Structure 1
Amino acid sequence: MRIIYLKEKPEFVDEVASLCFAEWSHLSPGKTLKDYRDSVIKRISGSEVPSVLVSVDDFGKLTGTVSLKEYDMDIYREFSPWLASLYVKLEYRNFGLGSSLLEKAVQIAKDSGVTRLFLYTPDKEKYYSKRGWKVLSREIYHEVEVSIMFIDLN
C-alpha cells in the first residue's frame, strides 16, 4: 500500500469525487457531483495545504483518500486549515489504512508550518479522540449534529 499525492494519479479524480460525494453530500446541501469534482481539482496540484492524498494498493487500485483544505465549514472561516474527506473503501477497512492516511496528512500539515489543524465529523469523534484530537464544540451543521475538533501540531 502506498500513500501518494493525487497529482501523481490524476485518473483517480472522478473516483475520489464520487466517493466523497456519496459519503458526505448531505453535509453540503445543493452541491453537485460536479462541484465535488471541481473542489478536488482545485486541490490536486498541492503538496502542502491544500492537497489531496490517495492510497493505492499493489495493483494500482485506489483504496482511500484524505484532503487538507484551507476551509471546510462555511460558518468557521476563521479556522484554517482543515483535514477533510478521510475515506477508506469498505474492503480495505480495519487494516490501519485510515490511520496511515491521517498520520501522513497531519505530518504534511506540520511540515508545512501548520500549528493547529481542524476537522469536523458527524460520527467519528471517538476515532479522532483516540488519535489526539480534541473537541472544540458540538453543534448542528446543515441539520446534522457534528463535532468540531482540532489537534495542535507544535
Structure 2
Amino acid sequence: MEIVDVKEIQARFNEAVDLFWGYWGSGNNRSFYEQCMQNSHGPDGIPRFYVAISEGEMVGTYSLLRNDINSRHDLYPWFACLYVKEEYRGKGIAKNLLQHGVEQAKKLGFKMLYLESNIDGFYERLGWNENGLTYDPFGNHAKIYEINLEE
C-alpha cells in the first residue's frame, strides 16, 4: 500500500474527488470537494488531501485542513476525512493513514495536530489525547483529540 498526495496523481484526480465526496459529501456538493482539492497546498502547506492505494485501487482517504468545519478555528491543522473502504478495514490502513498525517504535519513545521471524533479508544491507543469539545454549524458536538508533534 502507498499513500499519495492527490496533487501527485492528476490522472486520477476525479477518482480521488469521487472517493472523498462519496463518503464525506452529500447530494450536490461534489464541487465543494473538487475545488478544495484543486486549491490545496496553500502558503502554509495546507490543505492537503491523501489517498491510500492498494494494488491500484484507492482504498482510503485523509486530509490536513485549517478547520474541519467546527467551532475551534483557533486550533489547526486538523487531521480529517479519515476513511477506509469497508472491505479493507481491519488491516491497519487507518492507523497507517493517521501516522502518515502526523509525519506530514511535522514536515510542514506544525507543533500540534488536532482531530475531532466521537470514537472511544481508537485515537487514545495511538497516542492522541482528548482535549475538550467542538461544535459544528448544525449543533452537533465531537471530542477534540490532539497530538504533540514535537515529542
Aligned counterpart, 2:17: 17
Output the CA distance in 2 between the equivalents of 1:9 and 1:47.
21
- Whether 2:39 is the aligned partner of 1:42: answer yes
The TM-score normalised by the length of structure 1 is 0.81
Gap change, CA 1:7 and 1:45, over 3 Å in 2: farther
Q: Write the letter of the residue equivalent to 1:6.
A: V
Aligned counterpart, 2:54: 57
1:116/1:153 contact within 8 Å kept: yes
Aligned counterpart, 1:69: 65
Q: Write the letter of the residue equivalent to 1:127.
A: F
Structure 1, unmatched stretches of 5+, are: none
- Whether 2:130 is the aligned partner of 1:135: answer yes
Gap change, CA 1:126 and 1:22, over 3 Å in 2: farther
Output the CA distance in 2 between the equivalents of 1:93 and 1:13.
23
2:133/2:143 contact within 8 Å kept: yes
Output the CA distance in 1 between the equivalents of 2:8 and 2:43.
11
Shift of 1:117: 0.6
Shift of 1:14: 3.2
Output the CA distance in 2 between the equivalents of 1:85 and 1:93.
15
Q: Write the letter of the residue equivalent to 1:104.
A: H
- Whether 2:108 is the aligned partner of 1:112: answer yes
Q: Deviations over 1:71-108 (max 9, x none)?
A: 22342221111111111111111100111111111011
2:64/2:78 contact within 8 Å kept: yes
Output the CA distance in 2 between the equivalents of 1:43 and 1:115.
20
Output the CA distance in 2 between the equivalents of 1:138 and 1:17.
29
Q: Which aligned pairs between 1:87-126 and structure 2 lie closer than 5 A? A: 87-121=83-117, 123-126=118-121
Q: Write the letter of the residue equivalent to 1:136.
A: N
Output the CA distance in 1 between the equivalents of 2:53 and 2:44.
17
Gap change, CA 1:56 and 1:114, over 3 Å in 2: same
